[in-house]
Structure 1
């Protein structure tokens, strides 16, 4: 994409209502614009990031056997009345009526819809297990939307639901999803620590929140410093083998990690003092086993091995895709702007033509741009070099290819790595090879 023809409206000044770094930088870098309180329009560069994250989430869900569906954003109130949640959910639910006075709602989550669909179609234990997911827009009418996409009212989310014949199988599904999530975050280029979470009135001990460590996080966190360097995915895991899943899960669970609401002082004291870490974290995902809560309340059964009706065991698994955009920025930025991980950046590199109109510079930039026009942003504006450098740092492209008249005459470019500030003098071909090398975790 050529910057001179792009809709990438950057801002030099910080908007006064933006309280945290991700909100400020998403507005300044031209990723989003607010259309109403807690509701945003995603501009081309922001939409690219959103899609890159969603595609990685999708690939890792498919990898563990989950199947994608797409449910409606508008749901019937009758389904929620069947489960008993319609009146209990609270004012966060946007309740509406159609022209026939039928009660509807803009879906905040989809347990009722997916349970109803599965109840209509599955009749036997032989058709289980099933894990279904979608990546879809949700709406929750937050009383005080703030922090940009971190706590908006409309948000883009992956929600998944597993159905199993018994508890043991449900635990396997839960562990598969934890594995999928850790693989997902590794590919996204962020470290999200799974922490034991509150299960609420349902009880049990199968609930984990995934938190990205950042000073602006809304949750206080306590964790074993060994997690800073632990490679949870070092050993291969066969997702079709319960023993592999159990070993993986036990390894992850053997290190202390908890939010402030689940912090256990006695367990904390067992962590060596030099490894105790305290800080803040941003919740970006949650996995949760809730058994037969919905299949019982909505009277969904399948025939068990002996023909007796059985309520399938369920779990739900969410990832905040739009929230992740803000969380990644909170964890990866500096005073100059965003520092995108390779796999989520809207563009792999920006080409900076420091002397637009110079025949040699223009020719070299065109050659570089044509090598991967869908992955490169070409700053072909006639602006001064300082403005181009400032915008490149602000937008956070992983690589900057700097083309000036002196280097171009020698067939050389300067390549800058945004994350580290490292600079390399290379030929155009060498720079392209370095940029197009497989990104970490890909």
Structure 2
């Protein structure tokens, strides 16, 4: 590719609405152009990166035995109504009507459509297993689109769907896709981590997220450096920090704590460790035709509630936080002094695993300006329901018993799910087994945010000059920067010769023949992030040398003219 025949549009400054590094650099490098809130045009430079990402995904999906098709962006509401997601998805699902008043969804994902395809096409166990995938535009009506391609409304996604005869087959298909994802992200050249995750709105029985490691990541990833344990913070298991409950050694005392409504302030006033206090969180569960249930969740004072885990406590799948009037009605005091002892009305108490093993702890006395000290289970209040309710913290024991947990930030770019019969049951997707009896198909689904990969890759790979693309997904692998291409016959001849040699060797090379000054030319390509640069100038040619510099290199390397093609190929391979 010659730069004079391509479209290059760089900016010295990012637009004011660009918030994070990847958004700023993609706008400055001319890779995307904003059309509307969360909607972008992929400019030629950015589209080259997208196509390379897609090609890697496509090659690995095909290698794993998945079959490509293409499902529509606009989908009939009836399919979504069959699974109940027409109502459950909420405002993120864009709903439209055609001229006849019929309802349609602008797809955020395609579980319903692929299940409809399979239930009409797959009849016999002999046709299973099967795995279909497509790379298609998606739309989610985000309340607050931000961060460029990281959280836009329109985006490109690869989603795949496997169908199997039984759970064992589904788990085998899941493992094949998991391994394919590892291969994909390794080929991207990105540092990543696969972690156990919550299934969320997709449903199903088990899942893993794939995260690109970046300090700016939205997600906290929990892992043990001494084992294979890894999970998203939402799904990371928090073990009890004391294995057994100690005996009571203090009397229960109602202690004045004037104006101290937070555990930190109570601990400071009493001269106690924060870890000896217990915080109270009040939830409500509305019951149709019955009174609202009030629940009290107890966490150690230095721990934080994990709402995803709370959803999994039996009876709390539809919880909401209690109102102040409900708290006054059941506890008789305002928040800050609440506790499980002596409530005004009966409540349901759930203690985090660590709290359930605490003794002589401090909790609210359900009276303003007072807390109980020396509270103990069994003696002062009945044993609670016990559940894992909290976020883990760095240094917690790993749930597998191997080492202590560490936490790093990540950007979710892929997710694999074991769906089971979540969709096949609702949509009656069955096959006939060996005996001729209908059986529900077992499903898995597997997504990669194609356009989100760009933002994640940049968040992991940039410096003060601009983007640093891994060679496998860079818009170009190599840029040739001739000094005076339009003025020096020697420079032009050697540049053209090297350009042709690199093209013949299969290298994705761009020749900058725009006639720009060296400083402006170098700044453009450092901003765009091409990983390898060769400079051709009269001074070097007199010594029989060209200059090579990798995007991360601090200085150029002189390379003999005749050796440059082989040198560049070796650097790309490395």
TM score, norm. by length of structure 2? 0.69
Residue 399 of structure 1 is matched in structure 2 by 532
Residue 420 of structure 1 is matched in structure 2 by 553
Following the alignment from structure 1 to structure 2, what is the Cα–Cα distance between the partners of residues 161 and 214? 29
1:41 counterpart SS class: strand
- Using the TM superposition, name which of 94-103 and 319-328 deviates more: 94-103
1:109 aligns with 2:238: no
Following the alignment from structure 1 to structure 2, what is the Cα–Cα distance between the partners of residues 40 and 202? 26
Residue 428 of structure 1 and its aligned partner are, at CA, apart by: 3.2
Residue 193 of structure 1 and its aligned partner are, at CA, apart by: 0.7
Residue-by-residue CA offset, 1:158-213 (whole Å, 9 max, x unaligned): 00000000000100001111100000000000122111101348877521011111
- The alignment's C-alpha RMSD in Å is 2.0
Distance change >3 Å, CA 30–CA 428, structure 1 → 2:
farther
Residue 359 of structure 1 is matched in structure 2 by 489
Residue-by-residue CA offset, 1:121-149 (whole Å, 9 max, x unaligned): 11111110001100111000101000000
Residue 70 of structure 1 and its aligned partner are, at CA, apart by: 0.6
Residue 450 of structure 2 is matched in structure 1 by 321
Following the alignment from structure 1 to structure 2, what is the Cα–Cα distance between the partners of residues 188 and 201? 28
Structure 1 segment 11-410 matched on structure 2, within 5 A? 11-200=11-200, 206-225=206-225, 255-266=228-239, 268-270=396-398, 276-356=405-485, 357-372=487-502, 375-410=508-543
1:408 counterpart SS class: helix
Residue 224 of structure 1 and its aligned partner are, at CA, apart by: 2.6
Residue-by-residue CA offset, 1:310-342 (whole Å, 9 max, x unaligned): 000001100000000110011111111111111
Unaligned 5+ segments in structure 1 are 227-253
Distance change >3 Å, CA 421–CA 272, structure 1 → 2:
farther
Distance change >3 Å, CA 202–CA 57, structure 1 → 2:
closer
Following the alignment from structure 1 to structure 2, what is the Cα–Cα distance between the partners of residues 9 and 127? 51
Unaligned 5+ segments in structure 2 are 240-391
Equivalent pair of 1:360/1:409 in contact (CA under 8 Å)? no
TM score, norm. by length of structure 1? 0.89
Residue 276 of structure 1 and its aligned partner are, at CA, apart by: 4.4
Q: How many residues align?
A: 414
Following the alignment from structure 1 to structure 2, what is the Cα–Cα distance between the partners of residues 147 and 128? 41
Residue 244 of structure 1 is matched in structure 2 by none
Following the alignment from structure 2 to structure 1, what is the Cα–Cα distance between the partners of residues 101 and 203? 38
Distance change >3 Å, CA 273–CA 132, structure 1 → 2:
closer
- Using the TM superposition, name which of 311-320 and 273-282 deviates more: 273-282
Residue 380 of structure 1 and its aligned partner are, at CA, apart by: 1.8
